[in-house]
Structure 1
Amino acid sequence: MEKKWFTISVYSENNVGLLNRISGIFLKRHINIESLNVSKSEINNVSKFTIVTYITEDWARRIVGQIEKQIEVIKAFYHTDEETIYQESALFKIASHLLFDERQIQNIIKESNSQIVTVSRDFFVLAKSGKRSEIDEMYQQLQPYGIMQFVRSGRIAVSKAEMQISALLQEFHSLKQ
């Protein structure tokens, strides 16, 4: 079976220690987590983990099964990149003089659809949202000018297909009350 990128979505109660146990599932199998994001979901008091990994579909199915055995986990899903709409965000800190002295920097900002977040005497900060490849491309373009700091978020994603999780979460939420 061929390896590909999978986005694993985990809906759970917001309890201390769950992240540790979920990451342990990957650790035991020597599977690298490429990206991880945790946020609230569309239902109150339910968190959503978005995990990106490069594995076979068989391993994705097994890992989702193991994650669902955790008591706090309501439901877990896996999707390929083609089945999701996803983005990442990045911040680039660059020396301020380059914004005014290097015309190419202004072209990179315009062509990449990035935004200037702040400008100070010593530096300016660019924000870029998009696919990983778009952020990587912008990084490559800015690198020759010197990047003072760089940070990238984990992937955030929604599935293209309708997921029945909302009905499941509503039912779960009403049972907890």
Structure 2
Amino acid sequence: MQEKTLYTITIFSENTVGVLNQIATIFTRRQLNIETLSVSPSAIKGIHKFTITTFAETEEVMKKLVNQIDKRVDILKAYYNTNDDLVHQEIALYKIETEKLLATSQVEDLVRKHNALILDVNEHSTVIQKTGHYEDTQALFDELAQRIGVLQFVRSGRIAITKSRVERLSDMLEKLKEKEEKIKRKNS
């Protein structure tokens, strides 16, 4: 069996009801699992950015998936990338018992070792935040679970930006604007 590659799909759309359902349906039809999902406004006003990770056996599978997503009316543009093309992070929050944390003499070392932050401390619990790649956030979870115990844990979906100078959608919108201006000049 061929080893699968983790791909990050970036989708730009207007913020309309049902877009996520349309996207999820395409993944389901192609029998691809969404590993992580993050949605937020993009740098372009009125446009939202979906960042989705999924494993696929070949790049051809990704090309077909992205082409299917692009065909949706509500989608402006979709792209796929591998980790080499991106700067990406996740954020994780860990809640642990304050008493157990304080009983560990190496609290400061643990937090520094994992480059984490203590966000909240009260008499019952302490919340720690860690940003990084999946492996980084998982390593802290494993160590906390083993040494202290974890009451609650949550990890965000991947957020990512391309290493290229500008967002690909910006290039596409600029080309469309240039094309429209040429048509206007031609018709004038």
Q: Give the deviation of 1:106 after TM superposition.
A: 2.9
In structure 1, the residue matched to 2:113 is 111
The one-letter code matched in structure 2 to 1:89 is: I
In structure 2, the residue matched to 1:44 is 45
Q: Considering only CA atoms, is the larger Rg found in Structure 1 or Structure 2?
A: 2
Q: Give the deviation of 1:168 after TM superposition.
A: 2.8
* Percent of residue pairs identical: 38
Aligned partners of 2:86 and 2:161 also within 8 Å = yes
Q: Give the deviation of 1:108 after TM superposition.
A: 1.5
Unpaired runs of 5+ residues, structure 1, are: none
In the alignment, the residues of structure 2 paired with residue 49 and residue 101 of structure 1 have an alpha-carbon distance, to the nearest angstrom, of: 42
Moved more, 101-110 or 58-67: 101-110
Aligned partners of 1:18 and 1:72 also within 8 Å = yes
- Alignment partner of 1:155 is 2:161: no
Unpaired runs of 5+ residues, structure 2, are: 181-188
Secondary structure of 1:147's counterpart equals: coil
In the alignment, the residues of structure 2 paired with residue 172 and residue 53 of structure 1 have an alpha-carbon distance, to the nearest angstrom, of: 30
Secondary structure of 2:106's counterpart equals: helix
In structure 2, the residue matched to 1:54 is 55
Alignment TM-score, normalising by the size of structure 2: 0.87
In the alignment, the residues of structure 2 paired with residue 164 and residue 21 of structure 1 have an alpha-carbon distance, to the nearest angstrom, of: 22
Aligned partners of 2:30 and 2:65 also within 8 Å = no
Secondary structure of 2:48's counterpart equals: strand
In the alignment, the residues of structure 2 paired with residue 107 and residue 45 of structure 1 have an alpha-carbon distance, to the nearest angstrom, of: 44
Cα RMSD, aligned residues only: 1.9
